[in-house]
Structure 1
Amino acid sequence: MANVASEGAAVVTPTVPLRDWLMLSGAVTVSAAALWGISGQPLLAAGFAGGVTVIGAALRVLLRPRQDAVTEDFAVPDWTVTNAAIARDDVGIAITDRAGRLVCANGLMGAWFGITAAPPRLPVERGSVELLEAATRAAWRDGSAKADGVAYSQGTWTAEIQRVGRGEDYLVWRFVPVVTQDLVADMAGHIAGKVGRALAREGLQAAVVSPEGVILAANAAFAQRATGSVSAQMAGADFVSFLASDESDRIYYAREGGKGTPVKLVHVPVADPDGVANTDPSRTTSLFLLIDNGGFGQGIGDVTAGLPQIEALLARLPLGLAMTDRDGRFLFANAAFLRAAGHDDTIPPPYPSDLVIREDKGALVDAVRRYAQGQATAGDVAVRLRAAPDEPVSLSLAGVRGLGEGAVLLSLKDSSEETRLKREIAQATKMQAVGQLAGGVAHDFNNVLTAIIGYCDLMLMRHTPGDSDYDDIQQIKANSNRAASLTRQLLAFSRQQTLRPQVLQLPDVVAEVSALLKRLIGEKITLEVVHDRDLGFVRADPTQLEQVLLNLAVNARDAINDKLAATGAKGGGVVKLMTRRVTAADVRAMKSEILPLGDYTALVVEDNGHGIKPSQIGKIFEPFFTTKEKGKGTGLGLSTVYGIVKQSGGFIFAESEVGKFTRFSIYLPVHVPDASEAPARQLASPEPKREWSGGGRILLVEDEDTVRAVAERALVRQGYEVTTAADGEEGLEAIGRGQFDLVVSDVVMPTMDGPAMAREIRALRPDMPFLFMSGYAEEQLRREIDIPNMHFLAKPFSVQQICDEVEKVLRVR
């Protein structure tokens, strides 16, 4: 009797019938009795019976089958059955064992890769073999793996690998081909297929034309009009050869001549809407729809137009297209049209006028009604979209006939990126124009201030502190210096101020200005300073960086005070100054499109004031823009900060949340100083001096009379022999008449400017030193002039400053 185990195997237990046991016992008993009768010894008979019993029991135990013997009922594997199970016509499947041998594969696998090699050693590109080998190791380790981009001449596949088997000794490989969509081929197939026939039934002729003008596919309506035969083979023919035009530029079919019905061509580029835009339209395949201007419904059959097919055709085009019925309701709109209109939903609104602002609704409704009911014409109407009310766009409309409910075709170009670029260019142009204006005003104003400060210095030489006029002259000079500070702000905004860059550490700059900042922000506001370790050196003008910190601190103080006044709080304002170490990896993680990859030292100024509104944060660096009340802000503070940072080669970003915080982050590139540079505000080594006992002959060239008079008097008082000239030509004449030790000249002058005069003088006197006076930036002048042994004196200057600078130049001459 057999019992079936739960594991699918049978356990067998043999049994012995009772009759056999009785016969065996009887035989043993008779044998023992016979032995007793013959020998007469009962003990011998008992021993015989006992021995036979013991031997029988032992044999019973030895010969009895084990109770847990299991016989498996699994059949020997038949791989032909496996082959039948994995037969597929779309996926290549193969099975390999632990040794990498091919156990079986379906027919598609053999057709692709042959049967002489097993995965991963397939006849594919070398890089793909390495990809498959890595995936094999991952599958044995993890149980499954995937390899994308397995390629060679016949195509590209994605390989999926899975470890299987009772002992997990096999790998199942599935190769799925990667199919790339060919938009041109799909379009040609549609026009040659059902979509083309749907267009033909309504008299719409359609053809797909290559960039070379060769027809790739055409529908029956085009073939009939072009050749007179519906079944004519159009592929490969020249598209233009079937068309002609008259003196009025009306287009006809060449076969029909001028007596035929004129047609209108609708050109639609066939390009991938998700790919890179083709900047050369001449290299783009095109879909041409030819519409009869003299009437519609002249095609094959009178069946109503199949709008679903038309919608399916137009939905895949990158051009924004939509269609309305005669009542002006949307029938459909493709994704490009809705995206260009700024409509977030995938379903268009009921009417096109729902996409524009209220003021333009009436004009658009009238235009749609006019094109729906009149002749089949086309035109444009300028509207302002609700999504971008400040930017007018051109909406193209074309009346169509013979498309059933379809009456007006609308076209809208997605110009959001173009609009953004135009706005940025306009902003950059405006900033440049204002900067040039500010620089010019500052330059002219510096000439005036130079004269005022110079005359004040000359007057102070004749007055002692006890004189009645002394204090008044000092007030004039002090206010002139304040005006000079304003001109420096204008030059900083226009990025034309003179910088004195040094190699320094930002914590040193913060430390020197911290005491001033604490007095500036007041006792109600706490100043917190935090520095990172291992900060890199930066190269900047420390004075200008201090100006940046002062401007940002003033803005932070005002924002906090406004918030405290609005909430009635007594304190709690905090201004944080932080320096941070920013590595190239940090910049890469930021994914900023503005900040170039590299190492930076960042200076962060943060406050917990009222914040900046999102609509204003993009304008805060514009000149004369301020969020303060009228009369409390000039709008130049942040513009000056922006100009200083940009001229220093840095970047500045603003972040804010209304009611919580405002943060300005300044990124300055890390500078690696060489042996010749002195870091952190160390004074430069003194310049070598030559033997000079004072005096000398100086040629002073300046077109501003007052500035020239002040400079001349200042230098004459110092014992110099000064010859003056009003422009460059007079300076050249003076050089020809005498010998001079130094030329002091303005840069911008009429007739001949300072640099042009300097080049002419250098041709005559190669070793002549020059000291240029200008209100423009020294770095800009050095780039434009590029003359050796050239020195610079920034306007406005005092009497003492011009004398010191002349003496310095003559000593190192």
Structure 2
Amino acid sequence: MASLAPPDPQSPATRATLIAGGAGVLAALVVFLVLGDWRVAAAFLATAIVLGGAALAFRAARPAPLAPAPTIDWSVANALAAASADALAVTDRDGKLVCANRAYEKLFEGLPIPPNLPIDPAAAAALGTTGRAAWRDGESEATLTHGGAALDIGIVRAGDDMLVWRFARAADAGSAVDLDPLLGGKVGDRLASAGIMVASLTPQGRVRAANRVLRLRAMGQADAAIEGRDFARFLTTDSSGLLRFEREGAAGNPLRLLQVPVSAQDDAPLVVALLDEEESGLPAAIGSNVTAHVRALVSLLPFGMALVDREGRFVHMNDAFVRAAGIAAGPPPLYPGDLVVREDKGALADAIRRFSGGAAHSADMQVRLAGRPDEPIALTLAGARGLGEAAVLISLKETGQEGELKRQVAQAIKMQAVGQLAGGVAHDFNNILTAIIGHCDLMLMRHSPGDSDYDDIQQVRANSNRAAALTRQLLAFSRQQTLRPQTLQLPDIISEVSNLLTRLLGETVRLDVKHGRGIGAVRADPGQLEQVVVNLAVNARDAMLAKNPNGGGTLTIETLAITAAEVRRMDDDVLPIGDYSVLRVSDTGTGIPIEALSKIFEPFFTTKEIGKGTGLGLSTVYGIVKQSGGYIFAESPPGQGAVFTIYLPVHTATEAPVKPPPKPVRKADTWGTGTILLVEDEAMVRAVAERALTRQGYKVLTAEHGEAALDLLANCDRPDLLISDVVMPMMDGPTMVRHVRARYPDLPILFMSGYAEEQLRRSIDLDNVAFLPKPFSVQQLAEAARAALLTD
């Protein structure tokens, strides 16, 4: 049985119990004196003793009140954590985060509680095991990768209730960013005292940091701003092949250049050291007779440089030269002629022989690399002296991105020129087709369906309408067609056209549709966008059936969202940075030959057999996408099908109210009365329109251009309607209308043109103006004229 502790005589409860006991004894004594009965007095005394004992027992049995938990001051711990360059965090036994420094918050983009960090689940599980080992053993270590960098993790148990987590960049992470302040500070000064000049460089050869003695020797001032300068420009090589500071000239001490390996990462900065050495007259040779510092200097140059001996063989080439020449992995080429096409081998060999024989001047020459025969590049050759076996320097600028940009710009210029040509051709065809369709309509008015000529006229009209559809495709390519843009979602467009695609693809081709999340709305013409999908799907179907007539293939249509940050990481020279909704159409067909990729969007270019394609499908797609403000790219990975990716900018503006279309005019309402002034420079169109309007009951006055129309109006009464072409010689339609409106402000105007309305909108943006696109039928002209008169 557990014993109770004796009561504390100083406690208030004990004192109260003693007072109660004394009062009981006093009460018993009074009772005895008054009553004279000792038995009653004894009962009073016993009752007081029992009550006092019960109070003492209750007090002893009741647990003592808990003292309030002491408040821990973490200000010192927080200050220590903030002073550390490593990421630090402290957790308690319950797994709660007690404190963490800013380096920890920045590293993990917040304050997650270890081991539940935003890392790979397997790495998080391993980190939890390491934490449990630290609780057991007092400390533990681990290594994980986060954000592409290796981190050393040290976990230490503090007391019995805390774990301290330390996250430090691994020693092999290769980040020379931490070396920069060291080289420019005390470490750099200690190296200088040992005669070592040291600097860290970007992969392109520009200075990141340097110690004071290198700044002094290279620029003349120990505190000069050297950051960002081209390191190679501070050095020069004399006729003996010795390396010196450019600023010191031939009187300066010769230098030995050493490259210090810091990291194996391709994009890691370089650390170079310069040492003064005694001039011996000849540089020390390593391998061949090319000095080590010349090799190092050539390797540091940001442009492609190679050294060639007198026999025409490569002695050394830097990484930039390897990249620019497109040298694949494997044995390097032995001669420069191995890099170029057969036609250029002789000229290059002759130039190298001439400069190795002592030619004093440098020269440029155009050659074509064997890996890129369609892209001429410039080589610069110069004679070299004092470099041992090296007799010729060859420099080659890396033209990968620059060449690609040039090709894209050239392609854009070509497409723009072809588009203008296509638009002009379409305009002229529209005038011709207007006359053909109009004459067919007029002849059909005189022939009934039973006549022998009726079917022939209908056939001519049908073929003219087919030709009109082709001209609309040309206008689409030249971005001159009339669009009716709306705010819409790409998945909705795909859903609308899916049933049609299923019928077009047939049973042997499978349609696979995938939609991403967070796709923004775009602004485009839904009908034209559906035409884009259909054209791409039909081309994909033909390519898959050509590859496998019996088995077909799979057509995949994807929609996804691309943010501005993702576009920035793509580093594309054509695609502007912004948010895009993307439509990607890919197939499992034959693909597109690489020589045809740059031509597939041109009108009338097709890879199909003769008679199986007009060559306008992809050109129409290109025009619709570009007119909608988007971008389209075609790819054809080797051995795979074609991939078309369309980027449409996300539309964020509020939708403007759409004006209701004009009420259509019924056939019975096309008859009318009044005077119409018809202005058209094409005689055949003018004749058809005049006859059509006269048959509808109008009096028609005609003029061949704007000036003739103004002369006619000066000598006649006000007409009821003015119908005019837009583009005309002498004076165009809008200019003429402004002169007419000065005299008749309320005169209704009906413009007609073979160009698209959107292309002309700026010039014809006038009040009370209607537009009729060519080609049109007699019925369409009559309805448009009647509608324009009704709006007056």
TM category (shorter chain) comes to 0.5 to 0.7
Kept in 1, the 8 Å contact 2:567–2:578? The answer is no
Correspondence for 1:624: 604
Correspondence for 1:704: 682
Correspondence for 2:394: 410
Task: Give distance in 2, aligned partners of 1:759 and 1:609.
Answer: 56
The answer to whether structure 1 residue 359 and structure 2 residue 343 are counterparts is: yes
Rate the CA distance shift 1:718–1:427 in 2: closer, same or farther, 3 A. Answer: same
1:711 positional shift: 0.8
- 1:120 counterpart letter in structure 2: A
- 1:461 counterpart letter in structure 2: M
Correspondence for 1:482: 466
Correspondence for 1:767: 746
Rate the CA distance shift 1:650–1:161 in 2: closer, same or farther, 3 A. Answer: same
Rate the CA distance shift 1:696–1:481 in 2: closer, same or farther, 3 A. Answer: same
Calculate percent identity across the aligned residue pairs.
51
Which of residues 202, 206, 211 in structure 1 aligns to 2:240?
Answer: 202
1:394 positional shift: 2.0
Kept in 2, the 8 Å contact 1:321–1:410? The answer is yes
1:684 positional shift: 4.6
1:410 positional shift: 1.9
Q: Secondary structure at the match of 1:783?
A: coil
Task: Give distance in 1, aligned partners of 2:734 and 2:398.
Answer: 51
Which structure 2 residue ranges, 5 or more long, are not aligned? 1-71, 87-99, 116-130, 132-139, 144-150, 172-176, 181-199, 219-231, 255-265, 270-277, 286-290
Correspondence for 1:735: 713
1:770 positional shift: 2.0
Correspondence for 1:750: 729
Correspondence for 1:384: 368
Kept in 2, the 8 Å contact 1:498–1:794? The answer is no
Rate the CA distance shift 1:139–1:643 in 2: closer, same or farther, 3 A. Answer: closer
1:533 positional shift: 11
Rate the CA distance shift 1:326–1:533 in 2: closer, same or farther, 3 A. Answer: closer
Rate the CA distance shift 1:121–1:393 in 2: closer, same or farther, 3 A. Answer: closer
Kept in 2, the 8 Å contact 1:450–1:707? The answer is yes
Correspondence for 2:696: 718
Kept in 2, the 8 Å contact 1:456–1:476? The answer is yes
1:317 positional shift: 1.9
Correspondence for 1:163: 156
Rate the CA distance shift 1:408–1:498 in 2: closer, same or farther, 3 A. Answer: same
Rate the CA distance shift 1:359–1:702 in 2: closer, same or farther, 3 A. Answer: same
Task: Give distance in 1, aligned partners of 2:216 and 2:351.
Answer: 31
The answer to whether structure 1 residue 643 and structure 2 residue 623 are counterparts is: yes
Kept in 2, the 8 Å contact 1:139–1:162? The answer is no
Correspondence for 2:28: none
Which of residues 391, 397, 404 in structure 2 aligns to 1:420?
Answer: 404
Q: Does 632-641 or 721-730 show the bigger shift? A: 632-641
Tell which structure's C-alpha radius of gyration is larger. 1
Q: Secondary structure at the match of 1:642?
A: helix
Task: Give distance in 2, aligned partners of 1:645 and 1:661.
Answer: 22
Rate the CA distance shift 1:683–1:349 in 2: closer, same or farther, 3 A. Answer: same
Task: Give distance in 1, aligned partners of 2:569 and 2:85.
Answer: 40
- 2:757 counterpart letter in structure 1: E
Task: Give distance in 2, aligned partners of 1:806 and 1:488.
Answer: 23
Rate the CA distance shift 1:508–1:474 in 2: closer, same or farther, 3 A. Answer: farther
Rate the CA distance shift 1:714–1:538 in 2: closer, same or farther, 3 A. Answer: farther
Correspondence for 2:190: none
The answer to whether structure 1 residue 811 and structure 2 residue 783 are counterparts is: no
Correspondence for 1:120: 82
- 2:689 counterpart letter in structure 1: A
Superposition pairs of residues 681-700 of structure 1, within 5 angstroms: 684=661, 686=663, 694-700=672-678
Rate the CA distance shift 1:596–1:787 in 2: closer, same or farther, 3 A. Answer: farther
1:585 positional shift: 5.9
Correspondence for 1:796: 775
- 1:742 counterpart letter in structure 2: L
Task: Give distance in 1, aligned partners of 2:235 and 2:682.
Answer: 84
Task: Give distance in 1, aligned partners of 2:311 and 2:514.
Answer: 69
Kept in 1, the 8 Å contact 2:665–2:786? The answer is no
The answer to whether structure 1 residue 130 and structure 2 residue 102 are counterparts is: yes
Task: Give distance in 2, aligned partners of 1:389 and 1:746.
Answer: 50
Task: Give distance in 2, aligned partners of 1:170 and 1:536.
Answer: 46
1:805 positional shift: 0.6
Normalised to the residue count of structure 2, the TM-score between the two structures is 0.64
Rate the CA distance shift 1:364–1:101 in 2: closer, same or farther, 3 A. Answer: same
Task: Give distance in 1, aligned partners of 2:470 and 2:294.
Answer: 67
Rate the CA distance shift 1:632–1:117 in 2: closer, same or farther, 3 A. Answer: closer
Task: Give distance in 1, aligned partners of 2:790 and 2:672.
Answer: 9
Task: Give distance in 1, aligned partners of 2:609 and 2:215.
Answer: 64
Rate the CA distance shift 1:340–1:411 in 2: closer, same or farther, 3 A. Answer: same
Rate the CA distance shift 1:589–1:675 in 2: closer, same or farther, 3 A. Answer: closer
The answer to whether structure 1 residue 398 and structure 2 residue 382 are counterparts is: yes
Correspondence for 2:354: 370
1:519 positional shift: 5.9
Two-structure CA RMSD over aligned residues (Å): 4.9
1:606 positional shift: 5.7
Correspondence for 1:434: 418
Rate the CA distance shift 1:191–1:394 in 2: closer, same or farther, 3 A. Answer: farther
Q: Secondary structure at the match of 1:740?
A: coil
Task: Give distance in 2, aligned partners of 1:601 and 1:322.
Answer: 44
1:497 positional shift: 1.6
Rate the CA distance shift 1:305–1:222 in 2: closer, same or farther, 3 A. Answer: farther
Rate the CA distance shift 1:480–1:201 in 2: closer, same or farther, 3 A. Answer: closer
Correspondence for 1:261: none
- 1:805 counterpart letter in structure 2: A
Kept in 1, the 8 Å contact 2:723–2:752? The answer is yes
Summarize deviations over 1:277-306 as a string: whole Å, max 9, x none. xxxxxxxxxxxxxxxxxxxxxx96533565
Kept in 2, the 8 Å contact 1:320–1:335? The answer is yes
Correspondence for 1:5: none
Q: Secondary structure at the match of 2:750?
A: strand
1:443 positional shift: 0.4
Kept in 2, the 8 Å contact 1:332–1:348? The answer is no
Which structure 1 residue ranges, 5 or more long, are not aligned? 1-96, 103-115, 147-157, 209-214, 224-229, 232-272, 277-298
Task: Give distance in 1, aligned partners of 2:559 and 2:329.
Answer: 44
Correspondence for 2:59: none
Which of residues 299, 310, 326 in structure 2 aligns to 1:326?
Answer: 310
Task: Give distance in 2, aligned partners of 1:538 and 1:587.
Answer: 19
Kept in 2, the 8 Å contact 1:333–1:348? The answer is no
- 1:771 counterpart letter in structure 2: L
- 2:394 counterpart letter in structure 1: L
1:622 positional shift: 3.1
Correspondence for 2:261: none
Superposition pairs of residues 35-434 of structure 1, within 5 angstroms: 118-121=80-83, 130-131=102-103, 163=156, 178-180=178-180, 181=200, 183=206, 189=214, 199=237, 202=240, 206-208=244-246, 215=247, 218-219=248-249, 221-222=250-251, 302-304=281-283, 307-345=291-329, 348-434=332-418
1:387 positional shift: 2.9
The answer to whether structure 1 residue 443 and structure 2 residue 403 are counterparts is: no
The answer to whether structure 1 residue 499 and structure 2 residue 486 are counterparts is: no
